[in-house]
Amino acid sequence: MTPEQARDQTMSVLNGTISASGAADWVLDGDGSAIPQQCNADGEGGVTFGHGGYATAPGEDPAADAQRVADYWTSIGIETRIVSDPTPTVFGRGGPVNAISFGTAPGYTISLGGVCVPGDPLDYYGDTPTPARSS
């Protein structure tokens, strides 16, 4: 998988989770773009893309919304588990993500880390100022 495909996959999972969440008016991290981060891909430098956000209008039934998110993740190959105490929270890993979570309290939140692929995260910051490459 290319870094661009990994980035697009991260955004697809984020958008699908938002759609399944039952919440509205999401505020996404950064400028709404996936955030490149360094990782280790098969013993070499790699890039992974993270993302997340929170809803300003949470759903009305957190338990049902958590189950709907878990069902969506399972359908795309993410291994999921729901923790109900003290509030419904869904955790996932595998498939198209390294790790992902969906929380329902105090508000609805999503945090996700995509898969690690060979590449340099500095190549994917766009217009964001980045540190100089070391020689």
- pLDDT per residue as tens digits for the range 86-113: 999 999 999 999 999 999 998 999 999 9
pLDDT (0 to 100) of residue 8? 95
Question: Residue 129: is its pLDDT beyond 90?
Answer: no
More confident residue, 58 or 13: 13
DSSP state, residue 113: E
More confident residue, 58 or 134: 58
What is the mean pLDDT of the segment spanning 50-73?
95
What is the mean pLDDT of the segment spanning 70-89?
97
- Alpha-carbon distance values, 124 to 29, 78, 106, 109 (Å): 16, 25, 33, 25
Of 20-29, 34-43, 118-127, least confident by mean pLDDT is 118-127
E-state strands within 1-135: 24-28, 35-41, 44-57, 79-83, 89-94, 97-103, 109-114, 117-118
Identify residue 83 by its one-letter amino acid code: V
pLDDT (0 to 100) of residue 130? 43
pLDDT (0 to 100) of residue 101? 98
Question: Residue 132: is its pLDDT beyond 60?
Answer: no
pLDDT (0 to 100) of residue 30? 81
Question: Residue 21: is its pLDDT beyond 50?
Answer: yes
Rounded CA-CA distance 37/3 in Å is 11
Question: Residue 128: is its pLDDT beyond 50?
Answer: no
